[in-house]
């Protein structure tokens, strides 16, 4: 997971986050929801746990949120080689 990715550096605030991949020279900017998900991924939370909390907080259907969180993680993994 990202904890094992020393090539990634994150800066976050109330508006979102930015991930700098120093190996590839790539920056990803995240909105507030993306930052929420990313910070929990960094803590080692599972996609299922993140989706469950996010669905509860937003009132959205769990299946939809879980699919979106999984898609988000897979896109970041392709872009930044998260190692899992």
Residues 6+ apart with CB under 8 A from 20: 8, 9, 10, 11, 26, 27
Residue 82, φ and ψ in degrees, nearest 5: -70, -10
Render pLDDT for 26-35 as a digit per residue (tens, 0 to 9): 899 999 999 9
d(CA 22, CA 14): 24
Q: Is the pTM of this model over 0.75?
A: yes
Kindly indicate the confidence band of residue 68, based on its pLDDT and cuts at 50, 70 and 90: very high
d(CA 16, CA 30): 5
Instruction: Decide which of 59 and 78 is more confident.
Output: 59
**Model confidence at 2: pLDDT above 50:** no
């Amino acid at each position: 997971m990202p904890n094992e990715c020393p090539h990634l550096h994150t800066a976050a605030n109330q508006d979102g986050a930015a991930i700098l991949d120093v190996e590839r020279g790539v920056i990803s900017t995240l909105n507030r929801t993306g930052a929420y998900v990313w910070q929990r991924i960094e803590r080692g939370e599972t996609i299922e746990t993140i989706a469950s909390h996010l669905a509860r907080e937003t009132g959205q259907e769990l299946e939809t949120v879980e699919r979106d969180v999984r898609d988000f993680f897979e896109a970041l993994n392709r872009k930044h080689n998260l190692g899992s």
